[in-house]
Each structure stands twice: as C-alpha cells, then as structure tokens.
Amino acid sequence: MIKIIVAGFRGSMGQKTLNLIKKTEDFKLVGAFSPDATDINSASYGLDEDVQIFNNLTTKPVEADVWIDFSTPAGVFDNAKFALKNHIRPVIGTSGLTDQQVADLKAYAKEQGTAGLIVPNFGISAVLLMKFAKEAATYFPDVEIIEMHHEDKLDAPSGTALSTAKQISEVREANDAPEFKETLEGARGANYKGIRIHSVRLPGYVAHEQVLFGGEGEALTIRQDSFNRDSFMKGVAIAVHKVGSLKELTVGLENVLS
Amino acid sequence: MIKIIVAGFRGSMGQKTLNLIKKTEDFKLVGAFSPDATDINSASYGLDEDVQIFNNLTTKPVEADVWIDFSTPAGVFDNAKFALKNHIRPVIGTSGLTDQQVADLKAYAKEQGTAGLIVPNFGISAVLLMKFAKEAATYFPDVEIIEMHHEDKLDAPSGTALSTAKQISEVREANDAPEFKETLEGARGANYKGIRIHSVRLPGYVAHEQVLFGGEGEALTIRQDSFNRDSFMKGVAIAVHKVGSLKELTVGLENVLS
Amino acid sequence: MIKIIVAGFRGSMGQKTLNLIKKTEDFKLVGAFSPDATDINSASYGLDEDVQIFNNLTTKPVEADVWIDFSTPAGVFDNAKFALKNHIRPVIGTSGLTDQQVADLKAYAKEQGTAGLIVPNFGISAVLLMKFAKEAATYFPDVEIIEMHHEDKLDAPSGTALSTAKQISEVREANDAPEFKETLEGARGANYKGIRIHSVRLPGYVAHEQVLFGGEGEALTIRQDSFNRDSFMKGVAIAVHKVGSLKELTVGLENVLS
Amino acid sequence: MIKIIVAGFRGSMGQKTLNLIKKTEDFKLVGAFSPDATDINSASYGLDEDVQIFNNLTTKPVEADVWIDFSTPAGVFDNAKFALKNHIRPVIGTSGLTDQQVADLKAYAKEQGTAGLIVPNFGISAVLLMKFAKEAATYFPDVEIIEMHHEDKLDAPSGTALSTAKQISEVREANDAPEFKETLEGARGANYKGIRIHSVRLPGYVAHEQVLFGGEGEALTIRQDSFNRDSFMKGVAIAVHKVGSLKELTVGLENVLS
C-alpha cells in the first residue's frame, strides 16, 4: 500500500488525483494539503475521517510515502522542500520551478537521502513519442516535426515539439536539413539545429504531434493525440508506482518508463 | 473508336501513352509525330503498319479525333495550332506554354471551332484533392496545407500546394489565419492569403499533399500520394474520353471530372 | 430574418439549437414546443417574452418559416405532419422515422406544397466525406473504409461507414475486392458489395472515418474526425438557411451542399 | 575494416549488397559465392581482382569477418554452417530456414564459438515499429493493427503484422478487445490473442503498417512505410557493423538496435 499526501487537493488536477487514488487498489490517501483549507475537517471535503487535512508547512505531516504536488508556481518550491525534509518522495506536476530551484531541490534531496520526480508532462503518449523519436533518430537522421493545436494556442512551436527537437538533436549526428529555396517565406518551417518544425493551428484540433522520419525507400512516423487532461492520470499513477525505485530527484517521466 | 495522334511519341511519357492506347479498347493509334523521327517507317518503332509517322508540320496528317501532346516546351505551341487547324482536338500534357500562348490558342481554337484540353496535372488524386478542397472550404474556412516531397525537391512550397491554396482562396471568405507568436521563426509556415502552407522534405517520400480543415468539434482531411508517373495515364485516358464534350479549349483536368 | 420554431427545445440538442439561433444574425426564435413544457411562460425558460411556448399540437402555432425538430422518436412523425400542415418547413434531426413514415411525410409534404429536410447526420465533415467519396469512386473503383470509434460502441461497422459504402457502391462499377487468403479469419474486414470495411474500437478515440482509394502509382484518402456534438450546429445552420430552396421533402444534408 | 563474403552475389539483393559494400568506407569485399558462378574470374563480374569468387563449399574461403547471405532457401542452411565452421560470422537475410534448422545452427554456432545474426526483416522502420509497439503496449494495453499492402498480396494478415501482434502479446497483460456485435461479419478484423488486425489491399500501396494505441483521453500511433527494397540496405549495414558484438547466433535485427 502506497501512502499518499496530495498538495493542491482542491484544484482541478488535485481533484482528479483524489479520484485516481480512490480507484487504485494499492494507493491510500493519508493527507491533503492546501493553504486555503481553513477547515481541517476531512469530512468537509468528502474525504475519509483518517485523512489529515493541513494548511501550513509547520504542521507535522502524517507518515507517507509519496507527496503528489499539483499546487501553484508560488508554493511548489517550499512544498517540495517540506516533503523532502520529511522523507516523503515528491512527485511534482506543478509547473513554475526555475532552473535554479530545480538545482537547489536536487541538492537538498541528496542531502536528505530522499528521491523524487519532477514531471513537466504526465501525458504518456507524449512522453513515449519523445522517447521513441530520440531512439529512431539514431537510425534516421532525416526528421521533421509537425504539431497541431487548437486555434487559441498563440505560441508556435509548442513546448512539446521543441522539447522533442531538443531530445532528438542530442543523439542526431550534425545533419542539416536539405538545401531549399522558399518561394513563399516560412514554407520550410522553423529550424532547430537542422530539424524543421511545423505548427498547425485549427479549430476542432486539441493537441497533437507527429514526428516524421524518412530514409532510402522507407518512412517511420510517430504520432500522439491528447484529447483532454484525463490522460495525465495514467502518468501520475506510473510516477507514484515508480518513484520508489529512483535514487535521486529526477526530471522527466521517461526516466521511470523502462 | 477514338482515333489518336501522339506528339512526342519517342519520349518517356509518349511511350507510356502508346502503351495506354494499346491497352484501351476504344482507343486507336493512327499517327505519331516527332521532329527527330527521321525514319518514317512505323515498323521501326514497333508500331502497326497503318500508323502514320511524321516529323514536320507541313505534312497533311491522317484523319484523327484527338492529338495527345507530350512533346517539348519549344514545340508544343506550334503543335497545338497544327492540331486545331486540322480540327483534331488537342490534349496537351507538355508544360511550358506562356499565359499569352494559352490565350492565343484559346482564340484560335474558337476561330477553328475546335475544342481541346490543356492539362497541367494529369494525376487524378491531385486533381480531385484540389476539387474537393475548394468545395470543402466553403464550409470550413479554417484550412492549412502540408505537402511532403523527397529531399531533392528544392523549391517550397510545391506548385500543387500553391495551386491548391489559390483555388481555395477563390471561394473562401476573407478569413485570416489565427493570430500567433512565433518563438522560432517560420513555425507557422508560409502564408498565402491567410492559408498557411507547410513543406516537408525527407528522403523516402515521393510527392504527397494534405489539406487539413478544422471546425468546431470536427476535422476533415484530404490527402493524396503520388508514387510514380504511371499514375498520370489514368488522367490521360479520362482527358481523351472527355475532350469531345468540351465546347472550347479549356485548362485543367477538373473540368472534365463530372 | 428566418423565423424558427424549435421542437424538443428542452433536450440537449434543443438547447444547443437555441444557442445557435441566438448567435446567428438572421435567425429569430418565434416558438418552442415540448409536450412536457407545462409552464408556457417563456421567461421560465430564459426565453424572450414574445416566444410562443406550446406543449400540444392542437395549439395554433405562431407564424414561422422553419421547424427544427430535435424531439423524440415517438413524437417526430406527428410533429413533422403538424409543421407541414401549417406550411412551416421542417428540418428534422430526430432519428426514429421508419421508411414508411418518411414515404408518408414526403407524400403529405407534396400535398401541402411545403418542402423540408430530414437529416440523418448533421456533421458537415461526415457528409462531405461521403459526398467526396462517392465522387472519387468513379475514378478509383478500388476502395476500402476504416472507421474508428471509442471502445463503448458495440456495433460494427458504424452506420456512417455503412452509409458511405452504400453511396460508393451506387456509382462504382461492379468491382470485387481483390482475391485473398485469410490466415487469420476476419483480417480483410467486412464485405459490402466488394468494399471492405474495417472497424477499430479503442479508448480515447471518439468517432472517425477514413476512405482509402488506391490506383496505379497513387492514392487518395479522405478522413473525418468528430470530436463532439457541437459540430452538428454548423450543419443545422446550413439546413435552416438552405431548406427554403428545396422543392420537396428531401433526405440528407448533402442535398443542400452545393 | 570489416572483410566480407557475399553469398548469392548474383541475385538482386546480392547485387544491392555489393553496391552497399562499395559505398561504405569500412567495408571491404573479399569473397563472393554462388553455386552457379562457373566462371571464377572476378573481373567477369566487374569485381576487383583480389575478390575470391567460389562456387562450392569445399573451397577454402578467404579470411573474412562477416558472411552476408542472400542465397536460396535450399542453400542457406549449408552456407551458414560453412561460414560458422570457418569462424566467419553469418548475417543471414535468406528466408526458408525451418525452426529445427535455426535450432541446429544455434547449437553449432555455440560449438564453434562464433556468433551471427539471422534477420527475417532488414527494414529498420519495420523493426523499430515492432520494438516501439512492444514497449508502448506496457502502458497502453488497448491496441489494434492496420496493415496496408498492394492488391497482389494474397495472404492476410501480413507476416510483419502478425509478428508485431505476437511481440505485443508477450508484454501485454491478458486484455481482451472490447465486446462487440458485428452487423457485417469481419468488421472487427482478425483476432490474435485479443489484438485485432485489419488488412487493407489496394493498388498504389506498397507495404505499410500502423499500430494504434488508445487510452483515456489520448492516442499513440506508430506507422511505417516501405516503398522499395533499397530500404533493406540500411539494415544490412547495421547488422554487419553490430554482429561482432553478439555472443551467439541470434534472430532479429532488433537485438542489435541499442
């Protein structure tokens, strides 16, 4: 049985996490943290009597194995330190940690002898796509990325597409994209170290990414589609199950996908 | 039985056309023209005895219904005039006619009372894609184009992609692509009147085009793949069968696809 | 201004329709019918004062141009007759009419000199897919269908896929699928007059259909994705705008897509 | 420098292999074997003077590192034994070995202390697809396979699709495909241990495979396209480069893809 504290339990992801815990046989909710939980009666939140509700980090937390954090950019750093100090392994889905904060947390985790996982993307299909793309690029250095999102997404390319390009470029031999002549500017897309990235924005679409590899007489394509954030819960479950096998505070769900 | 003269019969497309005629029940080869056919003995080219071989446009041609032209940019204009003068309907697959030459031929065709067809693209899948895309754009003004070609194709976007965008823009209400902020220049592709076009170049690929339409809660995608030029012969057959129903010299295979 | 009565206005599709009318400049809601609307005060439903609420078909309806029906299989036949009797053109999205009932309504519509539209599928992407597929099949008799739905959809193939196959088979020359030898039964899918249909059922998927055409050296693929029922409102708007141009009671949205 | 003997050097794959060796910097052709090479003068085959041509397995072969075999089903077993006996690591692309013969060769390889590689499929895109699919199935037990081939491929499903299903089923928890009701028999495809396989046969297509994974709110798709057998040479090169790192006679290119 894995004993879990959820930080940010009143938010949308926090609520989904409570549902996940309820549905998973070997998960047990033992605590729930939120600075604005002024009422510390667990029944008020529809939770079991023995769940500790707390709203500040001076409270001594109940004994737990994993601290799932879906709190706020402002709170996540202190939350993570608190979890590590109490030897509870943090699984952090909250965004907003700076590079310096991540470095500090890694050092502190080592000091405390407690591992953990910081997860920028809980979507398993996206994480697997990146993992496979990185592996395929060893054999197919010719690669382009197409990402497709709803029309309201202003920035292009998407963070996941850029992250995919970065991971591919780590293993890819310096290999520029082929020469070209654009008769209409921008046709060949954005350029990340020779990897061309194309961003489509259309209503109806949600969040999709394709990595296209081409070689003499053959092609390989990996595609992932995210339709909604329910998909993240599968990633949370894996993170919680696997964080115990880590030796240090690690970044990226791919590190616990064997 | 449709009686046919093939101009440029010694080239690669000309040879494929001879094969097509042989295989098609209601097609009959009656003449073959090439300026470099110094030997006018049909047997020398493996053709039936009664096929007229000729190498200049002063020869009086055999009576024929259709003149299929796969000759050269330098010769095609005179060839077309010659066919029209002799009341043989031209089906022209040779590229290189200028806008002025097309206009001149149209006028001359009217004068002669002979129709014909100039065909920039004999690939039925590409022509249907353009036709359907134009129709769909009435209902889905939000549209982007992705074309994918082998790495040796230098120019981007492809002529077919540009032609598709042009045809769509004729029916599409002025509708700009959504606002965006490129963190890496070129990500949102080329811009043709608000239609974004993305060009992929990878080894292994041949010639492919996708038109993506998005709307509230749904999407429509039309894709065509051209693997080789054998595909053009289906278009040639349709053009020959249908050119008789035209009233004037017309540009585009889509005009004989009902 | 098109004056509209909505039947079944309290259901989910009825509510979406009320929203559509509010957002569309030349649409005006004049009446709303539901047998269980015991309260006929329009304000109780958040509707304008001058909207007629009625709950039985003996009431004389307000003057209107179009009757949009999203009621129930039990009620739709009588509703449609009532609309026709009052010379209000019905646009019927309710399912459940039998072939006999459709025939009866057509005859009655002729008698009343009032046209209308029965719409089995308001999804424009699905309707265009069928329209284009039918047209492409003239040129590409070799065709297969793949439909993909969420895992809870029990029946296979889907109604839309079957309907697509039927429409294709009307124009396709008798052309059997190629010979084959299944080493694992069912691999080649279902057979509708030589058109093979494949049904995929997976969680995450919603409702998607692909029609694949193949020919010598080329391929053409048409795909549509339905993510939610919001997409239907675009079809409702088109039907309401175009029903006035029909001469009789007609089945299928494709008949008003020019 | 890797010294190579090519068995079956006069066939189509053998010739492609000679080209590969010529183009690869650290490959050197030292011998070429074919039972019907009655002329053992290397110049007769356009090969360098110092290449040993031989036509029987009693000849003592030139010293070599790797034996690439693209011979015949009838000859491959004896060829492989001959290579192992002479401590030349075989890379076998010839099909036709029975399970018993593979077992015998493995035992003999161990006896001789010589490793080697039997490769049912040299297509890197196909091998990577299988590898990734197997890995993804751990996280996405809901999976279906669609393979598409040219219309002349009689058997369905394809060997690669079946092989993919087998590999997936090794890691996938017993997980039946969802319940369904076929209104047209075969719609849900073939069934391999709960994995549904769909086979499309169309002209224009060559050899393509898609593995579709679905999960709550997301989807992952892996696709590979083989356009021609030139693609196999990349796999041959990898096999030759990596066979030296194997400890025993191994089956499957995936074993040398890190």
**B198 part of the active site:** no
Percent of chain D with pLDDT over 70: 98
pLDDT for B214: 96
- Can you tell me the distance from the alpha carbon of D133 to that of D127, in angstroms, rounded to the nearest whole number? 10
Q: How confident is the model at residue B180 (pLDDT cuts 50, 70, 90)?
A: confident
- Can you tell me the distance from the alpha carbon of B65 to that of D155, in angstroms, rounded to the nearest whole number? 45
Q: How confident is the model at residue C248 (pLDDT cuts 50, 70, 90)?
A: very high
Average model confidence (pLDDT) for chain B? 95
List of chain C residues whose C-beta atoms are within 8 Å of the C-beta of residue D155? 180-183
Contact criterion met (CB below 8 Å) for C32 and C5 = yes
Which of A81-90, B140-149, C150-159 is least confident? C150-159
Between chain C and chain D, the number of residue pairs with CB atoms below 8 A apart is 156
Task: Please name which of C112, C52, C107 lies closest in space to residue C86, comparing C-alpha atoms.
Answer: C112
Do D184 and C205 make contact, defined as CB atoms within 8 angstroms? no
Beta bridge partners of B222: B211, C222
Contact criterion met (CB below 8 Å) for A93 and A122 = yes
C-alpha pair distances (Å), D187 with each of A142, B17, B55, C155, D180: 37, 40, 58, 9, 10
- Can you tell me the distance from the alpha carbon of A55 to that of A39, in angstroms, rounded to the nearest whole number? 9
Between chain A and chain C, the number of residue pairs with CB atoms below 8 A apart is 9
Mutate to test the interface with A, among B154, B168, B201, B205 (most CBs of A within 10 A): B201
Where on the phi/psi map is residue A57: left (φ > 0), alpha (ψ -120 to 50), or beta?
A: alpha
Q: Is the pLDDT of residue C180 over 70?
A: yes
What subunits touch chain D, counting only 3 or more CB pairs under 8 A?
Answer: A, B, C
- Can you tell me the distance from the alpha carbon of A108 to that of A104, in angstroms, rounded to the nearest whole number? 6
pLDDT for B175: 63
pLDDT for A258: 76
> To 10 degrees, the CA torsion angle through D149, D152, D154, D158?
-20
Question: Which residues of D belong to the annotated binding site for (S)-2,3,4,5-tetrahydrodipicolinate?
Answer: 150, 159-160
List of chain B residues whose C-beta atoms are within 8 Å of the C-beta of residue A200? 144, 146, 196, 198, 212
Enter the tokens of residue C43: 């304000």
Q: For chain A, which residues score pLDDT lower than 70?
A: 174-177
- Give C43-63 pLDDT, tens digit per residue: 999 999 999 999 999 999 999
Question: Which residues of A belong to the annotated binding site for NAD(+)?
Answer: 8-13, 93-95, 119-122
For residue A28, give the amino acid letter: K
C-alpha pair distances (Å), C218 with each of A106, B223, C177: 55, 11, 18
Q: Is the pLDDT of residue B229 over 90?
A: no
- Give D64-77 pLDDT, tens digit per residue: 999 999 999 999 99
List of chain C residues whose C-beta atoms are within 8 Å of the C-beta of residue A225? 204
Distance from CA of C189 to the nearest CA of A (A): 25
How many residues belong to chain D?
258
- Give B56-76 pLDDT, tens digit per residue: 999 999 999 999 999 999 999
Enter the tokens of residue D190: 């073939």
Enter the tokens of residue D139: 């996280």
Beta bridge partners of A148: A200, A208
pLDDT for B177: 62
Do B215 and C138 make contact, defined as CB atoms within 8 angstroms? no
Do B156 and A202 make contact, defined as CB atoms within 8 angstroms? no
pLDDT for D21: 97
Percent of chain D with pLDDT over 90: 91
pLDDT for A180: 86
- Can you tell me the distance from the alpha carbon of D111 to that of C213, in angstroms, rounded to the nearest whole number? 54
List of chain A residues whose C-beta atoms are within 8 Å of the C-beta of residue B192? 184
> To 10 degrees, the CA torsion angle through A180, A182, A187, A192?
50
pLDDT for C175: 63
- Give D138-197 pLDDT, tens digit per residue: 999 999 999 999 999 989 999 999 999 999 999 987 666 678 899 999 999 999 999 999
ipTM of the complex in this document: 0.87
Task: Delineate the domains of chain B, giving CATH numbers in brackets.
Answer: 2-114 (3.40.50.720), 124-226 (3.30.360.10)
Do D218 and A258 make contact, defined as CB atoms within 8 angstroms? no
Question: Which residues of B belong to the annotated binding site for (S)-2,3,4,5-tetrahydrodipicolinate?
Answer: 150, 159-160
Give the residue from chain D lying closest to C202, CA to CA: D214
Q: Omega before C203 cis (within 30°)?
A: no
Average model confidence (pLDDT) for chain C? 95
- Can you tell me the distance from the alpha carbon of D60 to that of B153, in angstroms, rounded to the nearest whole number? 50
pLDDT for C229: 83
pLDDT for B63: 97
Contact criterion met (CB below 8 Å) for D217 and A228 = yes
Task: Please name which of C245, C243, C235 lies closest in space to residue C131, comparing C-alpha atoms.
Answer: C235
Maximum Cα interatomic distance, chain B, rounded to a whole number of Å: 68
Enter the tokens of residue B169: 């823009």
Distance from CA of C142 to the nearest CA of A (A): 24
